[in-house]
Chain A
Amino acid sequence: MRIFRKRIPEYLITLFAIITLNFFIPRIMPGDPFTFVSSEENSVSTVYTDEEVARLKAYYGLDKPLPEQYLNYLGNTLRGDFGYSIYFNDTVLNLVGGRIVYTLPIAISSLLLSCLLGCLIGCMSAYKRSGIFDRVSYALITIFSQIPSFLIGVFFLFFLAGKLGWFPLSGAMKAFATYESGFEKLRDILYHAFLPVLTLTLAHIGEFYLLSRNSMISVLSKDYIVTARAKGLLKKRVLYVHALKNAMLPIITRLCMSLGTIFGGAVLIENVFNYPGLGTLMRQAITYRDYTLIQGIFLFFAFTVLVMNMIADIIYGKLDPRVEL
């Protein structure tokens, strides 16, 4: 706890720096939220006159000097007012909230899945080290965790969804579907989320696999276990629990830290599968230079990662750090 208390100011400084960075990042990008002269193919876009641009700038307070804008932004953020999106005509809070319900379940469930599967397969493959299962799973998992996740995503999208038609090409649920039961709805949602979750799970399974496999190997090499095993006294299940207990600390820490990276991965994966999460929204926000929305999304990402790091810190401080790694 002491270590943690010492680190609180550090976290606050980091958070402050991130908030500041968030303000300047969109503003140093070339262009502004109102200038459009081109449009997507077969589409039109409104071209504003200089007078209208000036009026819009004044409306969003973007005509004020930067320091004043910055102070306003700082004050609003601290009050919990994240502003009003320029392009999407809604509050940033609504927009981000509307997308989190898609991104978070995908991120969390793929993280937990990769953790559970990784640990299970890791233990199993260490149990008979250098056996066929061990070799195959080791090779497959290292391969999958090395291939960039968006490539795996493209692969699934193209073959499983595009060519074979087993899975939907995009979206989070069937449009205008009338569900007869909650179960059916859940099934539809899972059906749509399956490929994104699978892709992200494959991308992260390797970390947990290696952690648990190493832990299991070191447990198995202990003298008393070796003897007990030789006598056929130990059940597989007992061993698994033992090994996992040992690896608990690094696994939990890894879970917390991974949530940050998995958001980054989700940005790409959502764009591949056209999934209506924060990642697709962020890409649009950047394209349209929606200052307030960019600020809001970045802040959300950074804040989550910081909190997760903090939790990892607490766990490290609280649990005995001498646990065998």
Chain B
Amino acid sequence: MKNFLLFYKSSSISGKISMLMIALVFFVAVFGTAFSRHSAFVPSDSAFVPPNTEHLLGTDDLGIDLWAQICEGAKLSLTIGIFSALLSGIAGSFIGIICGYYGGFFDKFVMRVSDILIAIPSLPLMIVMGVFFGAGIQNIIFVLAVFSWTGPARIARSKVISLKTEKHVLVAESYGAGIFYLTFRHFLPEIFPVVMVSFIRLVNRGIVSEASLSFLGLGDPTAKSWGLILNHAISFKGIYFTDFWKWWLVSPFAAITLTVLAISFIARDAEKFLDVKL
């Protein structure tokens, strides 16, 4: 907590605003559905009601309240972003530590696999995997993690390779310290800041990828994600000739843009604060 306050103080103005913004998104995600008067799933009015006091952001083609859907979308985006980043960050760091520490065949193998994952364009393969695994939220998180673990893994690996030859590590080793001890005592504290920054960036990547997939109509269509609302709006026939876009298209657009920007500003400040360069 103390660290966080320090971080907050050291951030730039844009960073501070961003943090407030993300706090707001969190708030909306957790409590938004409780506060909004309408359901995000049941039509509560006629279709295409413009924004008013009853419906803050108006309603969509089925007459479902858009504000409630945006809240629901916030929940979804954050869940997907954070969990996919957690999964890939943790798995990636440990794989990286093992590779860096032991080297050898496993290391070579993992590095080849990550080469392949980098060589195959991720979006197309995500489309294929999305089709294969089906479109549940867990599946999307899993698929995103499959493509994102290589980043943290490479960072952790190179850090461990250089740490491995440092004196205090060598001494600990000579006393019979195993990889678990070394990991928790020496490696993790060292790689934590770097992985932290990459974690924040991965959250962003998760949110963006989910939105892209939903936008292509390949996400989970029953979940109310921002990308999906956008997809519904843009593929609505005659969207150019009606006024519906003013609320139907703009609100998910703004939600994605602001969230992603805020997170990236935080990542930039975190980079400075933790003094790491990716």
A and B touch in the complex (CB under 8 A): yes
Interface of A toward B, CB cutoff 8 Å: 10, 13-14, 17-18, 21, 25-26, 28-30, 139, 142-143, 146-148, 150-151, 154-155, 158, 162-163, 260-261, 263-264, 267-268, 271, 282-283, 286, 294, 297-298, 301-302, 305-306, 309
**Nearest A residue to B261, CB-CB:** A146
Q: Are B260 and A264 in contact (CB under 8 A)?
A: no
Question: CA A17 – CA B118 in complex, angstroms?
Answer: 13
B-chain residues with CB within 8 Å of residue A298 when the two chains form the complex: 120, 124-125
Known A-B contacts A150-B212, A268-B216, A286-B131; the reply to A21 vs B120 at CB < 8 A is: yes
Is B112's CB under 8 angstroms from A17's CB?
yes
Are A305 and B118 also in contact (CB < 8 A) when A28-B132, A163-B240 are?
A: yes
User: Would you call B260 and A306 a contact (CB within 8 A)?
Assistant: no
A260 near B119 (CB under 8 angstroms)?
yes
Instruction: Give the docked Cα–Cα distance between A267 and B124 (Å).
Output: 8
Q: State how many angstroms separate the Cβ of A121 from the closest Cβ of chain B.
A: 18
Chain A residue at smallest Cβ distance from B234? A154
In the complex, A301→B127 CA distance in Å?
A: 15
Interface hits, B227-277 → A, CB 8 Å:
230, 234, 240, 245, 249, 253, 256-257, 260-261, 264-265, 268
Asked if B122 CB lies within 8 Å of chain A CBs, one says yes
* In the complex, chain A residues whose CB is within 8 Å of the CB of B215: 150, 268
Closest 5 CB pairs of A and B: A264-B121, A146-B264, A148-B208, A305-B119, A264-B123
Range of interface residues on B (Cβ < 8 Å)? 35 or more
Instruction: Provide the residues of chain B in CB contact with A264, threshold 8 Å.
Output: 121-124
Give complex CA distance A142, B271 in Å: 15
- Distance between Cα atoms of A267 and B128 in the complex (Å): 14
> A154 contacts B124, CB within 8 Å?
no
Please determine whether B121 and A301 come into contact, CB atoms closer than 8 angstroms: yes
Q: Is the CB of A148 within 8 A of B132?
A: no
A286→B260 contact, CB < 8 A = no
Closest A residue to B216 using CB positions? A271
Whether, in the assembled complex, B25 has its beta carbon less than 8 Å from a beta carbon of chain A, the answer is no
Q: Choose from B121, B123, B131 the contact partner of A305 (Cβ within 8 Å).
A: B121
Residue from B121, B245, B268 with most neighbouring chain A CB atoms (10 Å): B121
* Interface pairs (21), CB distance under 8 Å: A14-B115, A21-B120, A25-B125, A25-B128, A26-B128, A29-B128, A142-B264, A146-B261, A147-B261, A154-B253, A260-B118, A261-B121, A264-B123, A268-B215, A282-B124, A286-B127, A298-B125, A301-B120, A302-B116, A305-B118, A309-B115
Closest to B207 in A: A148
Query: Chain B residues near A142 (CB, 8 Å)?
Result: 264-265, 268
B132 interface neighbour in A29, A283, A306, Cβ under 8 Å? A29
- Given A25-B128, A147-B260, A154-B234, also A18-B112 (CB < 8 A): no
Query: Given contacts A155-B253, A163-B240, A268-B212, is CB(A30)–CB(B131) below 8 Å?
Result: yes
Cα-based distance from A271 to B240 in the complex (angstroms) = 18
Chain A CB within 8 A of B211 CB: yes
Closest CB in chain A relative to B103 CB, distance in Å: 15
Point out residues on B near A: beta carbons under 8 Å: 14, 112, 115-116, 118-125, 127-128, 131-132, 204, 208, 211-212, 215-216, 230, 234, 240, 245, 249, 253, 256-257, 260-261, 264-265, 268
B-chain residues with CB within 8 Å of residue A301 when the two chains form the complex: 120-121, 124
Query: How many Å from the CB of A25 to the closest CB on chain B?
Result: 5
In this complex, what residue of A is CB-closest to B257? A147
Contact between chains at B116 and A14 (CB < 8 Å): yes
Q: Which of A30, A146, A151, A267 contacts B123 (CB 8 A)?
A: A267
Q: Is the CB of A263 within 8 A of B119?
A: no
- Supposing A142-B268, A286-B127 touch, asked if A148 and B119 sit within 8 A by C-beta, the answer is no
Output the least CB separation between B258 and chain A (Å).
Answer: 10
A160 CB to nearest B CB, Å: 12
Max chain B C-beta neighbours (<10 A), residue from A21, A29, A147, A148: A148
**Given B122, B131, B240, which contacts A162 in the complex, CB threshold below 8 Å?**
B240
Q: In the complex, what residues of A have CB within 8 A of residue B125's CB?
A: 25, 298
The distance from the CB of A8 to the nearest CB of chain B, in whole angstroms, is 13
B residues near A143, Cβ cutoff 8 Å: 261
Look across to chain B and name the residue whose beta carbon is closest to the beta carbon of A148. Answer: B208
- Name the residue of chain A whose CB is nearest to the CB of B215: A150
Chain A residues whose CB sits within 8 angstroms of the CB of B118 once the complex forms = 260, 305, 309
Q: How far is the CA of A121 from the CA of B215 in the complex (A)?
A: 32
Please determine whether B212 and A148 come into contact, CB atoms closer than 8 angstroms: yes
* CA A155 to CA B268, docked complex, whole Å: 25
- A154-B253, A268-B212 as given contacts; A263 in contact with B128, CB under 8 Å: no
Question: Are the CB atoms of A302 and B119 closer together than 8 Å?
Answer: yes
Cβ of A277 to closest chain B Cβ, rounded Å? 13
Given contacts A13-B112, A14-B116, A271-B216, contact A151 B122 (CB under 8 A): no
With a cutoff of 8 Å between Cβ atoms, the chain A residues found around residue B132 in the complex are 28-30
Q: Contacts A13-B112, A17-B112, A30-B131 known; A268 to B264 CB distance under 8 Å?
A: no
Q: Which of chain A's residues have a CB closer than 8 A to the CB of B127? A: 283, 286
Closest beta carbon of chain A to B227's beta carbon, Å: 9
For the complex formed, measure the closest distance between the CB of B11 and the CB atoms of chain A, giving whole angstroms.
15
Tell me the bound Cα distance from A297 to B123 in angstroms. 13
- Minimum CB distance partner of B264 in chain A: A146
Q: A14-B115, A14-B116, A298-B124 are in contact. Are A148 and B261 (CB under 8 A)?
A: no
